[in-house]
Chain A
Amino acid sequence: MFGYVVIDKQNMLIKDFADYRAYYCGLCKALGSCHSQLTRLTVNYDITFLALVAHNMDKREPEIKKGRCVTKAIGRKFPIVQNNEILNKIADINVILGYYKAEDDILDKGSFIYKFIRAFLFFKLRRARKRLPEFEKKVKILYQDLRELEKNKETSLDKLSHPFASTLMEVGRVAVNETNENFSELCYNLGKWIYIIDAYDDLEKDYKDKKFNPLNPNGEELTSVLREKIKEVAEFNLNSAINIIRSCYDNMDITINEGALSNVVYLGLRFKTDSVLNNLGQSRQTACFRQGHTGEHNE
């Protein structure tokens, strides 16, 4: 989706990275088998986190076999999570979310590439819709609510982040068989975190294109005073969301691939927050280079 829920790769044990990659590549294969080979391109870090959490909530040990990456036909085999119901469900969720995100981007920016993505995902959406009809309806309504709030230039950050946070709460409810209040709270705050960090990242761009940004709802000029104020508000909201996510995570019973999940929750979220808050207006590639990452794609 957005690619913000990342690992802190520099501070990750190799065994945990191998686990994380097994899920990432497992999802790529699941998308390929559930939908089409080209749909594999929609795999992202966010749903990898979701896959890790879903396996823990359902207490489902993944089946692991060695396999190759489709882009490296001649290469060493490495462990990949085999397809199961959880990954299939997440593949459908990803397609539905991707379609409505593309539709939202078309209404915002109207560029050709988003129209192409939407057209491409439409047929996959039809297939996913048959398997998850209730979820698809809810996502559609929540995106409409969000557009309504943005059109009315709502100023309350809680109200603006509510539709997207609720979307992620629905995602959590659908992806696992049995949810609880703690897990719903984690998903809600994760959705809020993603929404606000995406808004902060797009602050400059939205101001230039005269598009609505939740952190600058009146489209005021970005003076240094306003930037400081926005950074303070964003920092408070992002940090409080992270703290609540951490406390919800602490109360969960994590037995499967705990290392990879803990890396995301304790280090990855913090790392991403710091890198976005301190690089206002910079492109993602430059930010990653300055943080010392290799050139691996972040989308």
Chain B
Amino acid sequence: MNKNPFQILGISENATQEELFSAYRAKRCEYEDKRFTLGEEGTKACEMLDKIDEAYREADGILKNRAYIVDYNSDFSGIEAMIKEGRFEDAQDGLNRIHIRTGEWHYLQAIIFYKKMWYNEAMEQLRLALEKEPMNERYRESYGKLDLKLKSQSGGRGFYGEPQQGRSYQNYNNAGMHRPRCGCCEICGALVCLDCLCNCC
């Protein structure tokens, strides 16, 4: 279509579905009677009716898409509110009802998984969110934070404030600490000691 479908139907772009349908019916009425007349008038009327039908289909599609995006945006903020209130089951139900998986959908799903302590799934969802919206700073920051939490040894939630210092064994390096015990060396060592002490070996 070269012309704007809304222009052809004579309505504004912010019309509702009902207004669109009314305009479509009105426009059709104008040309319906004339389509059976002979000659050029009839041909033109048929052409106009085709254009009107096509314009209606296009405008309908545009309005429906707009409804999806508007609806889901408000749904997402509703789900975010539910997560903040701790109603994770309701939030999950809300997400399950939305079939279009945008970056925001994956991000909210990741938050729900994180709250449930399903960290593998949370990482996977954040990865998918970043795939859909690679430039989104919020997703990237959350991914980085979760990665840090899982891989580093710091990053606790500070429930009582600062983490306790001066715990035993906290700074032991596991890698070097396990000396394989050789039974023979111990026996020899014991014998050497006995020999020195009491000349019995």
Contacts and interface: CB of A to CB of B under 8 A. Distances in A.
Contact of A158 (B118, B154, B164): B118
A257 to B, nearest CB: 10
Contact of A258 (B119, B151, B167, B172): B167
A30 B18 CA distance: 76
Contact of A266 (B155, B156, B158, B167): B167
Interface stretch (A34-42, A139-147, A180-188, A200-208): A180-188
Interface residues of A, number: 44
Interface string A125-154: 000000000000000000000000000000
B174 interface: yes
B168 A262 contact: yes
B53 to A, nearest CB: 48
A262 B174 CA distance: 14
Contact of B172 (A11, A162, A185): A11
Contacts of A243: 149-153, 155
Given A243-B151, A258-B168, A292 B180 contact: yes
A251 B174 contact: no
B160 A263 contact: no
B136 to A, nearest CB: 24
B153 to A, nearest CB: 6
Contact of A240 (B150, B158, B180): B150
Contacts of B167: 250, 254, 258, 262, 266
A263 B151 contact: no
A267 B163 CA distance: 18
B2 interface: no
A11 B177 contact: yes
Nearest to A240: B150
B157 A267 contact: no
Interface string A190-208: 0010000000000000000
Interface in A4-32: 8, 10-11, 13, 16
Interface string B165-181: 00111101010011111
Contact of A10 (B150, B157, B164, B177): B177
27 contacts: A8-B174, A8-B177, A11-B172, A11-B178, A16-B168, A156-B120, A165-B117, A180-B159, A182-B159, A236-B150, A243-B150, A243-B153, A246-B156, A247-B153, A247-B154, A247-B155, A247-B156, A248-B157, A248-B159, A250-B164, A251-B163, A254-B167, A258-B167, A258-B168, A259-B168, A259-B169, A271-B174
Given A248-B157, A292-B179, 9 more contacts: A10-B178, A185-B157, A236-B150, A243-B150, A246-B153, A250-B163, A259-B168, A262-B169, A263-B168
